Amino acid sequence: MNIPDSQIAVTLYNLRDYCKTESDLDRTLDKVCDIGYKAVQVSGTPLPADVIRKQLDKHDLFCCATHEGGQMIFADDLSPLIDRMQTLGCDFTALGAPDVKYRQEVNGVKELIALFNKQAPRLKEAGIRLGYHNHHFELEKFPGLEKTMLDTFYDETDPSCVCAEIDVHWVTRGGGSPVYWINKVAGRMPVVHFKDCTIYHGEPRYCEVGEGNLDWAAILEACRKTNVRWYSIEQDDPFPGRDIFESIKISFNNLRAMGVK
């Protein structure tokens, strides 16, 4: 599986309803390739790693990242995770979301930080980088923390081995600046998550890259300056009136029109 020159990937969590069996995955990856994607992030796909790898190889798609759960990432025995990553030919995984106990009070946040500082060096020895994918709740301030949870997490984890996977939509939903966060984790973010944000019937909604209110010129400039390698499209649900395949095509085409290869 050769590493493509392109930077745009799609997160399979978007397509989770169409990746439940190997035949589903086969058909779904046909559509992904037809759009023009050369890389995927494996997430929300309940298939063994060897089956996924078989289909990625068939479609000449590169796995740039995965999301794994805390049960696997925080385990004493990391060999199942290492085997999975090696089977997929992937060197970066991230925790998609922490359990509630790690994000409601200060002791939970400190425990989460300690777990990352413990596990990331162990994975690094196996050639695997460990990152964290944020939502909006990490931008909350609560008693016991002088800063937001996300500031605290990145300030107190080891930058030499704990990586970032900033989601620009969720940062915005939390009242933060995507450019600020991309710059804050400079040098430790191999993959960034892209989806846009708009208001629909008075409520914030996911939408396709370039179709909402985010400042993409500034976001892309920050990504280029900080050497982010992969731009992974993760629009959890399609915008009303579209299906998810149309959505990931719009995001891909808009990024290409913005000059992303």
Residues 90-148 have pLDDT tens digits of 999 999 999 999 998 999 999 999 999 999 999 999 999 999 999 999 999 888 889 99
Nearest Cα to 90, choosing from 59, 119, 67, 74? 67
179-235 pLDDT per residue, tens: 999 999 999 999 999 999 999 999 999 999 999 999 999 999 999 999 999 999 999
Any domain includes 87: yes
Question: Which domain CATH number covers 190?
Answer: 3.20.20.150
Residue 26 within any structural domain of the chain: yes
pTM of the model: 0.96
Flag whether 207 is in a domain: yes
Q: What is the pLDDT of residues 60-82, one digit of tens each?
A: 999 999 999 999 999 999 999 99
The answer to whether residue 1 is domain-embedded is no
State the pLDDT at residue 222.
Answer: 98
Domain that holds residue 103: 8-257
